[in-house]
Amino acid sequence: MPRSILVVEDEKEIRDLLALYLRKEGFSPLLAPDGETAILSARREKPDLVLLDILLPKADGLEVLRAIRTTPEIAGTPVVMLTAKGDETDRIVGLELGADDYIPKPFSPREVVARIKAILRRSHAAAGEPEPALLSYRELRMDVGRHEVRIQGKPVSLTSKEFRILQALLASSGRVLSREAILRKVWGEDTHVIDRTVDVHIAKLRQKIPLLVKAIETVKDVGYKLREG
């Protein structure tokens, strides 16, 4: 069965262009011209991925994203936001709300299709597979079960929080992790820890493991990501 991609975009030309490229690549595009239609269609059709414009009539992209994330049957659907160039706020809010990626406009349809394929590969790999017990990044090896990190065979001593932040980064396959997401993963939902705490722990990690100085990239106003190894 071809994978279905819900394209939410009010500009007909862009919508049709994306649909054309998606069809050419073997996907089955579903089209929605406004936010309300998008929410209904996402709930009814359960697409494999949603490509979501932000500025939309009826309900904007962030509302659509929120509706998807709070509807249990489709909450895990990957969502790629299409953002106006240079609009940091939308990008940040989108990532905080759980968008998987964003593509600034204007974009090339080819790039959009490439990103969609990468995300589907990733989410496919994540679904149903248990968390890996061994993670690695260049010369770094993490044994999750033993709570051990080694660089070229030499053990590095990390606190449990540092260990878990590093684990989250290693497991994120190059995705941006917002400070919020890191807090949730490492400290849990019920936390009074502030975002700055994450920065302090990242600084410690970079201090203890020099290869992470460049490998952990700071994404301005959002969080962190691990550069492709």
Q: Which of 170, 68, 173 is nearest to 122 (CA)?
A: 173
**Cβ distance to Ca ion smaller for residue 57 or 210:** 57
Least spacing, CB of residue 67 vs Ca ion, in Å: 17
Supply the DSSP symbol for 99: -
**Cβ distance to Ca ion smaller for residue 15 or 164:** 15
Contact between 162 and Ca ion per CB under 5 A: no
Which residues, including other chains, have CB under 8 Å from residue 161's CB and lie 6 or more apart?
186, 187, 201
Which residues, including other chains, have CB under 8 Å from residue 225's CB and lie 6 or more apart?
169, 172, 174, 175, 176, 177, 216, 217, 219
Supply the DSSP symbol for 2: P
Q: Identify residues 34-93 at the interface with Ca ion (CB under 5 A).
A: 53, 55
Question: Applying CB under 5 A, which part among 9-17, 20-28, 124-132, 186-194 lies near Ca ion?
Answer: 9-17
Q: How many residues interact with Ca ion (rule CB under 5 A)?
A: 3
What gap in Å lies between CA 208 and CA 98, rounded to an integer? 30
**Cβ distance to Ca ion smaller for residue 83 or 167:** 83
Least spacing, CB of residue 54 vs Ca ion, in Å: 7
**Cβ distance to Ca ion smaller for residue 7 or 181:** 7
Cα angle 147-153-155, degrees, rounded to a multiple of 5: 45
Question: Applying CB under 5 A, which part among 10-18, 108-116, 185-193, 211-219 lies near Ca ion?
Answer: 10-18
Least spacing, CB of residue 23 vs Ca ion, in Å: 21
Contact residues for Ca ion (CB under 5 A)?
10, 53, 55
